[in-house]
Amino acid sequence: DGVTVNLLLPGRIATDRVAALDAARAEREQRPVTEVEAASKATIPARRYGTPAEFGASAAFLCGAPASYITGTALRCDGGLVRSL
C-alpha cells in the first residue's frame, strides 16, 4: 500500500535529558559531572555524544525520497554504541 515502516534508534544524543541523566548520576555517585560524561563517552566508539542535528538528519533521510525504497529496517544513530549488526 506504499507504506514504509522503519525504526530510528538513538544512542546518547546531547539533549537536555541526557545532561540531566549525567547530572543525576554524578550527584548519586558524588563525582564531577564532567567525569561522568567522560566515562559515558568512553563507552561509545565515536567517543562523543551525537548531536540533535545528526539525529534529525537521519530522520529526514528516512522520511525523504532517497530512502523511499527502504522499509523494515532499524537504523541506529548511536556512534557505534550497540556492537552488533
Map out the domains of the chain as residue ranges. 7-77
Cα–Cα separations (whole angstroms), residue 45 to 11, 14, 48, 80: 12, 16, 8, 5
Residue 12: per-residue pLDDT: 97
Consecutive 10-residue averages of pLDDT for the chain (85 residues)? 90 97 98 98 97 97 93 95 85
Residue 2: per-residue pLDDT: 78
Residue 3: per-residue pLDDT: 83
Cα separation of the two ends of the chain:
29
Residue 1: per-residue pLDDT: 80
Look up the pTM and report it: 0.87
